[in-house]
Amino acid sequence: MYSQAKSTLAKLLKFAGNYKYLIIIACFFSALSSILSLFPFIAIWFAIRDIFAVLPNLTQAAGTLKYGWLAMGSAVLSIIFYYISLLSSHLAAFRVEKNMRQQAMHKLISLPLSFFKQNNSGKLRKIIDDNSSLTHGFLAHQLSDFAGAVIMPLAIVAVLFLVDWRLGMVCLIPLVVSLLFLKQMMAENTAEFMNKYLDALEDLNSAAVEYVRGIPIVKVFQQNVYSFKDLHNSIKRYQDFASEFALSCRIPMLNFSLAINAPSLLLIPVGLLLILNTSNYQSFLLDLIFYLLFAPICVTMMTKIMSASENIMVAREAINRIENLMQTNTLLEEKTKKQTNRNDIKFENVIFSYPNSSKPVINKLSFNIPAGKTFALVGPSGGGKSTLASLIPRFWDVDSGQIKIGGINVKSFAEEDLMSKIAFVFQDNKLFKGSIKENITMGKPTATHKEIKRAIQLAQCSDIIAKMPAGLDTILGTAGVYLSGGEQQRITLARAILKDAPIVILDEATAFADPENEYQIQQAFEALVKDKTVLMIAHRLSSIKNVDSILVIQAGQLVEQGTHNELLQKDGIYKTMWQEYQTSIAWQVGEEKKYA
């Protein structure tokens, strides 16, 4: 247990940074306070002994007053030292919690997008929030007790043998036995159990978040009880672990409770046996009183040791979880960072498969987009278009082959240089809770008012701002402020326009948009891509008739490439897609006429 505590404490000290001295002060004063807390009992016992020696002439008990003062002085000092210890441990706890959260948030920002696809927000919130709170609780409330628990057994053993070693043994033997039961409860497999238990809790948390998020879909499709099967399974798993854990502890816990309370039970019968063989009844009775007074302190001490051991286990798990997050691989960058002013994009024999899948989603793909040109990606659903686009800003890293910008491998750029080169506009680009201005200037925090105004105009957002209660400063996500899907898309386009990155990767889906919105979004797209190197995932083939080149992607491979007219000359997939598209347009027009 002590080695566990040592490593846990070492990790906590690392997180405490410059404030680690607070943790050391807290431990030191708690240990001092624990030792002092024994003094009143010893002093009271000496006082009682003095009184017994002079009975019935109490006035002759000269030392009583002195022992009284000693008892009171040590009790007061013990309380003051405990207070100092708690104060320091609370201050340290706030620092450690803050540092943990801050370091975890910094880490999150540096992680590739792939990490967030594999770990949902409910799980991440739990890892960061709950584990830093658990660590805070341990440091603020239990660390002082733990330091006391380390020093107390030594002091207690010394005190137990100070008066009568035989009665001392009656107290000590059950305590040693109780430590063995405690060790059994805190065994390594229990730690593993705790690990699984916390996993189940994490699982439950993310299932609950996902369930709440899915409620609108459940309602729309009138799903029945099966819609919360995942949540139900998580609750069941958690319940099973929790009860298994509680059940596995019940025998050692019962034994432990019996052992720590045994001294109080055994002292009287053993005392009665011993008194028969003693000549000085009075002195022996006094010794017995001392041990009867002292036995409850041993119970308190052992209870503190048990709760500290349990909390150390939880704190250790909590720190491990945060550390696992901190050890997640960030994007690997080559040591010597490179830069370029060129903005052409080159795929060279790129192969990529998603984690936990051996089948490549992108398979030996090579093409070249010259700077300033617009290329479109088309192809059957699930062919790999979005995946391909997300490899350029390194949301995922390729398995083999290279992606180059201006002749430099994207892995050789500093992350911020790569990000500043690319504006990425996707269907699920999110607006966050904050003012419209904050949402737009995220693309360029240093933007002047003039630049923001220009981006708003080019993204066709002026009408949106005009109808908002506080204009640009309107906070999105507050009551009464609602943006349609198309309007949200225009705001994200204003963000991208303001960023003014030389490379634009976009998904031109206008699924949310009504005809009026669609026209405006189209205008915004045109403003965004002007003079840029553009890779566009196209959904409406009519919008790519004039692009410089069309890449037809099927099953992760480039199966056709050329301009719209060149591809129509071939009897390939694009021609079929175009004919189907024309038919669907004709069908839509026909339907509109029918219902006009």
**Measured from the CB atom, is 218 or 559 closer to ligand ATP?**
559
Residue type, 327: Q
User: Which CB atom, from 252 or from 383, has the smaller least distance to ligand ATP?
Assistant: 383
Q: How far is the CB of 111 from ligand ATP (least distance, A)?
A: 15
Interface positions, 342-371, toward ligand ATP (CB under 6 A): 354, 361
User: Cα dihedral sign for 460, 466, 472, 477?
Assistant: negative
Residue 330 makes CB contacts below 8 A (sequence gap 6+) with 107, 110, 111, 112
Question: Judged by CB, which is closer to ligand ATP: 256, or 396?
Answer: 396
Picking from 170, 468, 143, 421, the residue whose alpha carbon sits closest to that of residue 295 is 170
Of these, 269, 296, 382, 485, which contacts ligand ATP (CB under 6 A)?
Answer: 382
384 in contact with ligand ATP (CB under 6 A): yes
Q: Of 34-42, 381-389, 447-455, 493-501, which segment contacts ligand ATP by CB under 6 A?
A: 381-389
DSSP 8-67: HHHHHHHHHGGGHHHHHHHHHHHHHHHHHHHHHHHHHHHHHHHHHHHTT-GGG-THHHHH
Convert 18-51 to b/e letters by CB count within 10 Å (16 or more is b).
Answer: ebbebbebbbbbbbbbbbbbbbbbbbbbbbbbbb
- Give the nearer residue to ligand ATP in terms of CB position, either 94 or 354: 354
Beta bridge partners of 562: 550
Is the distance from CB of 7 to CB of 314 less than 8 angstroms? no
Mapping DSSP to helix (H, G, I), strand (E, B) and coil, where does residue 557 land?
A: strand
Candidate residues 57, 381, 446, 448; the one interacting with ligand ATP per rule CB under 6 A: 381
Does residue 436 contact residue 472 with C-beta atoms inside 8 Å?
yes
Please give the size of the binding site for ligand ATP, defined by CB under 6 A.
11
Is the CB of 204 or the CB of 506 nearer to ligand ATP? 506
Listed ranges 63-71, 264-272, 308-316, 376-384: which one lies at the site for ligand ATP (CB under 6 A): 376-384
Shortest distance (Å) from residue 428 CB to ligand ATP: 11
According to the binding rule CB under 6 A, does residue 387 interact with ligand ATP? yes
Shortest distance, position 466 Cβ to ligand ATP, whole Å: 34
Residue 122 interacting with ligand ATP (CB under 6 A): no
Query: In 3-state terms, what secondary structure has residue 327?
Result: coil
* Given 383, 393, 406, 443, the residue binding ligand ATP (CB under 6 A): 383
> Applying CB under 6 A, does 385 fall inside the site for ligand ATP?
yes
> Residue 554 interacts with ligand ATP (CB under 6 A)?
no
At 224, the amino acid letter reads N
Q: Site map for ligand ATP, 82-121, x if CB under 6 A? A: -----------------------------------x----
Q: Smaller CB distance to ligand ATP: residue 382 or 407?
A: 382
Stretch that binds ligand ATP, among 197-205, 264-272, 285-293, 380-388 (CB under 6 A): 380-388
Q: Which stretch binds ligand ATP (CB under 6 A): 211-219, 232-240, 377-385, 483-491?
A: 377-385
Asked if residues 465 and 436 have their Cβ atoms less than 8 Å apart, the reply is yes
Q: Which stretch binds ligand ATP (CB under 6 A): 74-82, 126-134, 368-376, 384-392?
A: 384-392
Q: How far is the CB of 501 from ligand ATP (least distance, A)?
A: 22
Q: Which is nearer to ligand ATP, 264 or 427 (CB)?
A: 427
Smallest gap, in angstroms, from Cβ of residue 394 to ligand ATP?
A: 15
Buried b / exposed e over 467-498, threshold 16 CB at 10 Å, is ebeeebebbbeeeeeebeebbbbbbbbbbbbb
Q: Of 78 and 489, which has the nearer Cβ to ligand ATP?
A: 489
Q: Of these, 195, 257, 386, 457, which contacts ligand ATP (CB under 6 A)?
A: 386
Q: Quick one: which segment of 8-16, 163-171, 383-391, 429-437 binds ligand ATP (CB under 6 A)?
A: 383-391
User: How many other C-beta atoms can be found within 10 angstroms of the C-beta atom of residue 91?
Assistant: 18
**Nearest distance from residue 353's CB to ligand ATP, in Å?**
9
Torsion angle in degrees (nearest 10) through CA of 237, 239, 245, 246: -170
Find the length of the chain: 596
Query: What is the SS3 string spanning 105-118?
Result: HHHHHHCCHHHHHH
Please, which residue, 384 or 406, has the CB nearer to ligand ATP?
Answer: 384
Q: How far is it, in rounded angstroms, from Cα 319 to Cα 92?
A: 15
Q: With contact defined as beta carbons under 8 Å apart, do 263 and 170 qualify?
A: yes
The window from 70-78, 385-393, 480-488, 580-588 that contacts ligand ATP (CB under 6 A) reads: 385-393
For 520, the token pair is 């405006």
Interface residues with ligand ATP (CB under 6 A) are 117, 354, 361, 379, 381-387
